[in-house]
């Protein structure tokens, strides 16, 4: 939604233009008005203004002087000068200004409307061009890297589910510019930095960026890769042989990585003073097993030998085979990942996804071959997530039977325990939906009540948004969504209804009725009333039966 500000010291002109534009594009254009430059600057300080339609010569401060201050508030704002004076010096000054337009008052409403439309189109076009211009190569790379990071972190948590459809995976890679082949296996590297104690956040970021350049300079020679920071603050790299590598290189790549990682480690230490420990997968893994391989590298990272500051640890076949077998057949990585994902779905009110995850977790945990200790862990991980959410939002008193939430022994069986968690979760989602509806209804009722109690005051979209702590554009959309009517139309209905009530009292003058419903100029009120009812205020008063 764009915002137009009309500024003129002649009230009849300001009010007339306000009425015209308020009804012209009520869904796309929010219209404000001011009777002086000072009042206009107050609007500028309160909200974004896209187009200013201003008298070029006003008492105190001219429109030309005002336009200079407008740019300090909103540089992209377009200015249209409106005047009855055609003296050359005013015209000349106006046309010298960039992005300014000039319209004579004698040219009529059609010309003014046309010029405002042109200015709005210019604003829209300029915004799009500015967005494109701001996407420089480095900014584009940074945004791309952030998007890749979000996606890969998600992939590391749910690879078994997300990597089933390789065609979809290929499309995601292409969209995010990830230079990896979803149909070929991948090698994984986990790197943990040891930052100096007391290091500032800015210095830490600086070191991370510099180290990333070192990694890229070494890895790009013979591999293609993507590198991101995981949820624990460690670097994770996924690699495949580059397209230029010879046929024999894939068989040698893990050994190549071991040697190259030592060089990366030394370079970071010597040039940046940054020590790190690195763990690398001893073989390529399929995309579906990415989560389990990632969790294994994390486990090995924790079990590093000595101080671990210069170690490059390879997850090789010589590692404890029994330990590897145990790790790969348990749900160590599944439980915390699933609990974290389900907690996120709960917070974001994604009910369908939450219960899909719950069904998957339940089927795994209640499988005849499932580890009992892992099943107990899964129950309490989810129960704790639900308990924490109820604490944060004060829902304990609104959900019955929560006493058994943290007491698994109170359930007759594991299956009954997970069914109980499902019921608690369903109650939470139901309360969330109900609460959202109630809060929406309460907010709309509060706005409607304020409108009816302050009909003689400023009821602009900006003012109502300020009072209710909404964004103006959102408030307009939200009100129509809830009430099925534009907020401006609702205000007009309230004004008409109030005016009719007041006009029944013959002792109240028409100009007093006009002021009581927000119209400073009686003639503007008369036009508004006649358009809505087909009668002037006086004609309506005369039509009321006496007695």
Per-residue pLDDT of the chain (547 residues; tens, 9 = 90+): 889 999 998 888 898 898 889 888 777 889 999 999 999 999 988 888 889 999 888 888 888 888 888 877 888 889 998 877 655 555 556 555 656 788 887 888 889 999 999 998 888 877 666 555 555 555 666 678 788 888 999 899 888 888 989 999 999 999 999 999 999 999 999 998 888 888 998 998 899 889 989 998 889 888 999 999 888 888 999 999 998 887 888 888 988 888 888 889 888 988 898 888 888 988 899 999 998 889 888 877 776 544 445 667 777 644 443 344 434 434 455 677 788 888 888 888 889 989 998 998 899 899 888 888 889 999 999 999 999 989 888 887 788 778 889 999 899 999 999 999 999 999 999 888 887 788 788 889 999 999 999 999 999 988 998 888 878 888 888 899 889 999 999 999 999 999 999 999 888 999 999 999 999 888 889 999 999 999 999 999 989 887 5
Q: Are residues 73 and 197 in the same domain?
A: no
Q: Are residues 428 and 462 in the same domain?
A: no
What is the sign of the dihedral through the CA atoms of 65, 69, 75 and 78? Answer: negative
Q: Are residues 171 and 290 in the same domain?
A: yes
Supply the pLDDT for residue 525. Answer: 92
Supply the pLDDT for residue 133. Answer: 55
Q: Are residues 125 and 154 in the same domain?
A: no
CA distance 42 to 257: 63
Of 134, 159, 181, which one is at a domain's C-terminal end?
Answer: 134
Numbers of helices and strands, H then E, in the chain: 22, 10
Structure tokens at 135: 């996407």
Supply the pLDDT for residue 238. Answer: 96
Of 88, 117, 134, which one is at a domain's C-terminal end?
Answer: 134
Q: Are residues 253 and 174 in the same domain?
A: yes
Q: Are residues 189 and 312 in the same domain?
A: yes
Supply the pLDDT for residue 99. Answer: 63
Task: Indicate the number of domains in the chain.
Answer: 4
Of 402, 436, 470, which one is at a domain's C-terminal end?
Answer: 436
Is the distance from CB of 250 to CB of 187 less than 8 angstroms?
no
Q: Are residues 284 and 365 in the same domain?
A: no
Is the distance from CB of 70 to CB of 79 less than 8 angstroms?
yes
Query: Within a domain: residue 186?
Result: yes
User: Beta strands 235-241 and 100-104: pairing type?
Assistant: unpaired
Supply the pLDDT for residue 529. Answer: 94
Q: Are residues 531 and 406 in the same domain?
A: no
Supply the pLDDT for residue 328. Answer: 42
Is the distance from CB of 78 to CB of 101 less than 8 angstroms?
yes
CA distance 260 to 218: 7
Structure tokens at 433: 């939906």
Mention every residue, 6+ apart, whose C-beta is less than 8 A from residue 24.
113
The edge-to-edge listing of strands for the beta sheet with 2-7 is: 29-34, 2-7, 51-55, 78-83, 100-104
Rg (CA), the chain: 33
Query: pTM score, two decimals?
Result: 0.55
Q: Are residues 169 and 313 in the same domain?
A: yes
Residue 458 belongs to domain with CATH number: 1.10.10.60
Q: Are residues 152 and 226 in the same domain?
A: yes
Query: Within a domain: residue 442?
Result: no
Q: Which domain holds residue 429?
A: 334-436
Q: Is 20 exposed, middle or buried (0-12, 13-18, 19+ CB in 10 A)?
A: middle
Supply the pLDDT for residue 418. Answer: 94
Q: Are residues 391 and 467 in the same domain?
A: no
Is the distance from CB of 342 to CB of 357 less than 8 angstroms?
yes
Q: Are residues 316 and 291 in the same domain?
A: yes
């Amino acid at each position: 939604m764009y915002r137009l500000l009309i500024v003129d010291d002649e009230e009849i002109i300001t009010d007339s233009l306000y009425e015209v534009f308020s009804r012209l594009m009520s869904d796309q254009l929010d219209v404000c008005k001011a009777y002086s430059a000072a009042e206009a600057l107050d609007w500028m300080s309160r909200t974004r203004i896209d187009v200013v339609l201003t008298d070029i010569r006003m008492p105190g401060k001219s429109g030309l002087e005002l336009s200079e201050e407008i740019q300090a508030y909103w540089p992209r704002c377009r200015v249209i000068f409106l005047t009855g004076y055609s003296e050359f010096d005013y015209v000349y000054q106006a046309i010298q200004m960039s992005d300014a337009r000039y319209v004579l008052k004698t040219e009529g409403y059609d010309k003014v409307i046309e010029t405002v439309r042109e200015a709005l189109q210019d604003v829209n076009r300029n915004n799009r061009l500015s967005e494109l211009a701001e996407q420089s190569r480095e900014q584009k790379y940074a945004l791309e890297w952030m998007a890749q990071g979000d996606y890969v972190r998600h992939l590391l948590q749910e690879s078994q589910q997300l990597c089933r459809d390789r065609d979809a995976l290929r499309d995601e890679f292409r969209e995010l510019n990830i230079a990896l082949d979803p149909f070929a296996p991948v090698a994984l590297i986990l790197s943990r930095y040891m930052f100096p104690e007391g290091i500032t956040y800015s210095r830490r970021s600086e070191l991370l960026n510099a180290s990333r350049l070192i990694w890229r300079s070494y890895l790009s020679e013979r591999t293609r890769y993507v590198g991101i920071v995981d949820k624990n603050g460690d670097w994770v790299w996924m690699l495949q042989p580059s397209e230029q590598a010879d046929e024999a290189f894939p068989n040698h790549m893990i050994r190549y990585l071991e040697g190259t990682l030592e060089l990366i480690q030394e370079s970071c230490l010597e040039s940046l003073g940054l020590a790190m420990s690195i763990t690398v997968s001893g073989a390529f893994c399929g995309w579906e097993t990415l989560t389990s391989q990632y969790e294994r590298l994390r486990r090995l990272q924790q079990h590093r030998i000595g101080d671990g500051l210069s170690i490059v640890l390879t997850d090789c076949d010589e590692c404890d085979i029994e330990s590897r077998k145990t790790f790969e057949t348990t749900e160590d990585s599944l439980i915390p990942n699933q609990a974290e994902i389900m907690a996120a779905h709960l917070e974001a009110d994604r009910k369908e996804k939450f219960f899909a995850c719950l069904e998957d977790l339940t089927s795994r945990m209640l499988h005849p071959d499932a580890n009992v200790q892992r099943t107990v862990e899964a129950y309490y991980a989810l129960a704790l997530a639900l308990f924490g959410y109820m604490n944060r939002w004060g829902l304990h008193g609104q959900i019955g039977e929560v006493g058994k939430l943290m007491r698994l022994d109170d359930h007759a069986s594991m299956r009954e325990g997970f069914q109980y968690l499902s019921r608690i979760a369903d109650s939470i989602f139901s309360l969330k939906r109900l609460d959202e509806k109630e809060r929406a209804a309460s907010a709309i009722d509060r706005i409607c009540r304020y409108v009816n109690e302050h009909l003689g005051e400023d009821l602009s979209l900006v003012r109502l948004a300020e009072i209710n702590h909404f964004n103006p554009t959102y408030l307009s959309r939200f009100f129509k969504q809830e009430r099925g009517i534009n907020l401006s139309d609702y205000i007009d209905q309230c004004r008409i209804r109030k005016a009719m009530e007041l006009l029944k009292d013959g002792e109240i003058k028409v100009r007093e009725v006009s002021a009581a419903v927000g119209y400073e100029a009686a003639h503007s009120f008369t036009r508004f009333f006649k358009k809505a009812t087909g009668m002037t205020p006086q004609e309506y008063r005369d039509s009321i039966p006496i007695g």
